[in-house]
Amino acid sequence: MKIQFDIKEQLTDIVAEVLSSKWQPEVKEDRCGMKRITLPCSATDKSPATIIDIWKAEIHIKPNHDSQNYRIFQNGEHVACEYIGPQGELFRHKPFPTLTPTKGDTFKTDLSIR
């Protein structure tokens, strides 16, 4: 399933949260305009739970679950989030940066993607 919706946060806010010490981020790559960050499952489990690729105008989030992807991007004047994965798994894993759908936003869905 594919869902797209606008969020309240700006790209810079999300990047700042991801890079904050509360997430214990580890920079794996920083080249050609892309920064790859890994976030551990927890303070005691250092295996990567989430891989985040940060570009100038787009962020890709890949949880440790192979069936999910998030793309956060500038969509005109708004910031949008596109989720591809099982319907019941949207926002169900941690760690994950804060993403707040805008009030009254209508989700755009494509149920044909599996």
The pLDDT value recorded for residue 107 is 53
pLDDT in tens, 77-114: 899 999 888 877 776 665 567 888 887 655 555 544 43
Cis amide bond preceding 97, omega within 30:
no
d(CA 49, CA 37): 11
- Mean pLDDT over residues 51-69, rounded? 87
pLDDT in tens, 18-56: 888 887 888 999 999 999 998 877 656 656 578 899 999
Instruction: Please compute, for residue 36, the number of CA atoms within 13 A of its CA located in the half-sphere on the CB side.
Output: 7
The pLDDT value recorded for residue 112 is 46
pTM of the model: 0.79
Q: Tell me the average pLDDT of the chain.
A: 81
Q: Which token pair is 17?
A: 């949260």
